[in-house]
């Protein structure tokens, strides 16, 4: 039995088998939005393992392979005899056809990518209430040439004859589009039809149910032992702190290591918020000089990350020994991290499952195994948006729950080139102005991240009839659903103008502001 389903005693109502699609996690998120618990598992999961989990439905994800190619990832044929509904999405649909006696071949004429109107031929079951002509997001280079026995067509497009298929008797369904992406207009309706009408799932995956289960789980695991949490003030660690405090109270100790790369006033705010306002025990560790001294002369961003991560570990080891002993270490591991560590990603050339290196944890930075802690990870089955809901249910104020993601190394990687105290102070002031004006304009919740970047170059300017030679600030604002892809936020000109005027007039050392209009991909959200 793989580790992934054993996150707790709750079994998934819907299991998604991952064949390497970039959208597998998104399918799981969409199902959870219907208040039904789902898990992503490797395509290698056996039929017997699935049978022991007793899901009410099974979804086969998309993927980059062709089902007829050598080495294509194929599931256990026994999944077709589980007696539960199955939905194949893109590659998953082609697998269904291929393994059940139909035929798949390269798309005749041309492949189909992007938006296409779906012509509905049969509105029963899967496509019930889906509007004829509804836009769906297509992404495939192969098509179905012939259907297996017992299958019928549900829908087609101009370029795809079999855009949706079904074997109603066995409750097998397939779609050649991605219902999980926002571009598919009635995609969520398709998902709800499969979850509720076809798989007969009950909407019992609620925030209240999760909190109750998590509190019980933590109490059962920890008993009367002490727990240590590295607190950053981000959504994940803050929510975890509130959850653990609700479960075990004074047995929890939070450690906030101030490495000197936080935003303006944030260390003081966090200590006041957690320790004084909510009476959650937080040990403040001032390590600012220690960290910045390690970065003298360092320019390479990856080297910065490694140095900061290593120093964090050293400080954590020293302080945990001083404050301890502790039996448990709490971490804000989320479900996407669990999926990646389980190695469900597929090698695009061989079709084989491969392990993926996960970036260091936001707070802990890859703690060494010899610390001898047992892990407490009650958020490990949640996506980021679910964590926000849990945080609100636990009483975290909106200013914490809604805050934009912030990198673990902080402002050190938003300063290109060497990090100095002068540059840090400059960037802090500029960053504060960005956030203040975005908030004032009522745009904060519409933007995934809004921040400033300081470049290690100078340009000539004129201020007060005097020549200046100062740094530029880059304004980076992006809109996204999960951070995996992002588009630059189209801010109103008057807001951009106000931000620029304030930064140039109020921030010492800056005489120019530029606006980054690059999407991800090809760019990244951060500049490092």
φ, ψ of residue 343 to 5 degrees: the values are 70, 45
Residue 219: CB partners within 8 Å, gap ≥ 6? 247, 248
Token pair in block for residue 477: 């604002």
pLDDT, residue 137, reads: 84
Q: Is 162 a catalytic residue?
A: no
**197 three-state secondary structure:** helix
70-100 in b/e form (b: 16+ CB < 10 A) is eebbebbeebbebebbbbbbbbbbbbbbbbb
Token pair in block for residue 309: 């991560």
Q: Residue 254's closest CA among 316, 310, 186? A: 316
pLDDT, residue 139, reads: 72
Residue 180: CB partners within 8 Å, gap ≥ 6? 23, 26, 27, 29, 30, 89, 187, 191
Q: Is 254 a catalytic residue?
A: no
Catalytic-role residue among 140, 178, 361, 362: 178
Angle at 228 between CA 368 and CA 217, to 5 degrees: 105
Q: What is the CB neighbour count within 10 angstroms for residue 34? A: 18
pLDDT, residue 365, reads: 41
Q: How far is CA 512 from the centre of its chain?
A: 34
Q: Is 178 a catalytic residue?
A: yes
Token pair in block for residue 337: 């991290």
pTM value is: 0.76
Q: Residue 507's closest CA among 458, 481, 471, 456? A: 471
Tell me how far apart the alpha carbons of residues 403 and 228 are, in angstroms, rounded to a whole number. 24
- Residue ranges of the chain with per-residue pLDDT less than 50: 1-7, 342-346, 348-365
pLDDT, residue 151, reads: 95
Tell me how far apart the alpha carbons of residues 188 and 185 are, in angstroms, rounded to a whole number. 8
Query: For residues 14 and 58, is the Cβ–Cβ distance under 8 A?
Result: yes
Catalytic-role residue among 25, 112, 162, 180: 180
Catalytic-role residue among 25, 90, 201, 477: 90
Residue 314: in which H helix or E strand, if any? helix 301-323
pLDDT, residue 111, reads: 58
């Amino acid at each position: 039995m793989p580790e992934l389903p054993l996150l707790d005693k709750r079994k998934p109502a819907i299991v998604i088998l991952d064949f390497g699609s970039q959208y597998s996690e998104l399918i799981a998120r969409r199902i959870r939005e219907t208040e039904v618990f789902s898990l992503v598992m490797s395509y290698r999961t056996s039929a017997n393992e699935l049978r022991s989990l007793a899901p009410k439905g099974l979804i086969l994800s998309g993927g980059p392979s062709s089902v007829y190619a050598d080495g294509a990832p194929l599931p256990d044929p026994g999944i077709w005899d589980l007696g539960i509904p199955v939905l194949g999405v893109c590659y998953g649909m082609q697998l269904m056809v291929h393994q059940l006696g139909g035929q798949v071949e390269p798309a005749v004429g041309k492949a189909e990518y992007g938006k296409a109107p779906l012509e509905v031929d049969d509105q029963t079951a899967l496509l019930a209430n889906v509007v004829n002509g509804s836009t769906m997001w297509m992404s495939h280079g192969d098509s179905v040439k012939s259907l297996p026995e017992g299958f019928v067509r549900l829908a087609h497009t101009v370029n795809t004859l079999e855009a949706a298929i079904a074997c109603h008797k066995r409750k097998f369904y397939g779609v050649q589009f991605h219902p999980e992406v926002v571009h598919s207009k009635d995609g969520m309706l398709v998902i709800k039809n499969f979850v509720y009408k076809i798989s007969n799932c009950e909407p019992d995956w609620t925030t209240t149910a999760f909190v109750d289960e998590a509190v019980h789980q933590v109490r059962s695991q920890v008993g009367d032992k002490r727990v240590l949490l590295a607190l950053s003030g981000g959504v994940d660690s803050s929510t975890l702190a509130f959850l653990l405090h609700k479960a075990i109270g004074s047995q929890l100790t939070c450690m906030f290591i101030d490495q000197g790369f936080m935003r303006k006033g944030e260390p003081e705010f966090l200590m006041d918020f957690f320790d004084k306002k909510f009476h959650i025990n937080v040990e403040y560790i001032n390590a600012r000089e220690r960290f910045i001294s390690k970065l003298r002369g360092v320019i390479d961003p990856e080297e910065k990350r490694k140095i900061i991560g290593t120093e964090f570990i050293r400080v954590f080891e020293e302080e945990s020994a001083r404050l301890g002993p502790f039996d448990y270490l709490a971490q804000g591991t989320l479900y996407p991290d669990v999926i990646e560590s389980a190695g469900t990603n597929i090698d695009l050339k061989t079709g084989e499952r491969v392990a993926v290196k996960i970036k260091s944890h936001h707070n802990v930075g890859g703690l060494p195994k010899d610390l001898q802690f047992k892990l407490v990870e009650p958020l490990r089955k949640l996506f980021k948006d679910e964590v926000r809901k849990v945080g609100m249910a636990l009483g975290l104020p909106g200013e914490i729950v809604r805050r934009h993601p912030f990198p673990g190394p902080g402002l050190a990687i938003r300063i290109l080139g060497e990090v100095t105290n002068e540059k840090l102070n400059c960037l802090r002031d500029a960053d504060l102005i960005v956030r203040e004006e975005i908030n004032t304009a009522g745009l904060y919740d519409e933007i995934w991240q809004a921040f400033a970047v300081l470049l290690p170059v100078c340009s000539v300017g004129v201020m007060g009839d005097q020549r200046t030679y100062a740094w530029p600030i880059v304004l980076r604002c992006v809109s996204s659903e999960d951070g995996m892809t992002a588009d630059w936020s189209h801010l109103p000109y008057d807001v951009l103008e106000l931000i620029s005027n304030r930064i140039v007039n109020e921030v010492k050392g800056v005489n120019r502001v530029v606006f980054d209009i690059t999407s991800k991909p090809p760019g990244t959200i951060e500049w490092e």
